[in-house]
Amino acid sequence: MAAANVKDVAALAGVSLGTVSNVLNRPEIVSPETADRVMQAIEKLGFVRNDAARQLKAGRSNTIGLVVLDVRNPFFTDLARGAEDGAGAAGLSILLGDSGRSHERETAYLDLFEEQRVHGVLVSPLSDVARRLEGLRRRGIPAVLVDRSGTGSGFSSVSVDDVAGGRLAVEHLISIGRRRIAYLAGSFDFSQVTDRLRGAREAVASHPGTTLEVIDIGGLTVLEGRAAGERIVARAADDRPDGIFTANDLIAVGVLQALVMQSDIRVPGDVALVGYDDIDFAQTAVVPLSSVRQPSALLGRTAVEILLDEARDPTLQPRQIVFQPELVIRASTVP
Among 14, 27, 135, 154, interactor with a copy of itself by CB under 8 A: 135
Give the strands of the sheet with 320-323, arranged side by side: 93-98, 63-68, 120-123, 143-146, 156-160, 320-323
* Residue 157 and residue 148 in contact, taking contact as beta carbons nearer than 8 Å: yes
Q: What would you report as the CA-atom Rg of the chain, rounded to the nearest whole angstrom?
A: 26
Q: Rounded to an integer, what distance in angstroms lies between the CA atom of residue 143 and that of residue 89?
A: 19
Residue 29 binds which entry of DNA, a copy of itself, none, CB below 5-8 Å type-dependent: DNA
- CB neighbourhood size of 211 (10 A): 11
Among 45, 81, 230, 328, interactor with a copy of itself by CB under 8 A: 81
Residue 200 binds which entry of DNA, a copy of itself, none, CB below 5-8 Å type-dependent: none
Residue 163 binds which entry of a copy of itself, DNA, none, CB below 5-8 Å type-dependent: none
- CB neighbourhood size of 153 (10 A): 19
Residue 61 binds which entry of DNA, a copy of itself, none, CB below 5-8 Å type-dependent: a copy of itself
Given the rule CB under 8 A, which of 89-97, 155-163, 190-198, 200-208 is the region that contacts a copy of itself? 89-97
* Residue 180 and residue 242 in contact, taking contact as beta carbons nearer than 8 Å: yes
Element (H, E) at 184: strand 180-185
- Give the binding-site size for a copy of itself (rule: CB under 8 A): 47
Q: Rounded to an integer, what distance in angstroms lies between the CA atom of residue 56 and that of residue 53?
A: 5
Residue 93 binds which entry of DNA, a copy of itself, none, CB below 5-8 Å type-dependent: a copy of itself
Residue 24 binds which entry of DNA, a copy of itself, none, CB below 5-8 Å type-dependent: DNA
Q: In sequence order, what are the beta bridge partners of 96? A: 66
10 vs 68 by CB, closer to a copy of itself: 68
Chain centroid to Cα 279, Å, comes to 13
CA 205, 207, 212: angle at the middle one, nearest 5?
Answer: 55
Restricted to residues 264-293, the positions that interact with a copy of itself (CB under 8 A) are 281, 284, 286
Q: Which residues bind a copy of itself (CB under 8 A)?
A: 1, 3, 46, 48-53, 55-56, 61, 71-72, 74, 77, 80-81, 84, 93, 95-96, 98, 100, 111-112, 114-117, 135, 138-140, 221-223, 226, 250, 253-254, 257, 260-261, 281, 284, 286
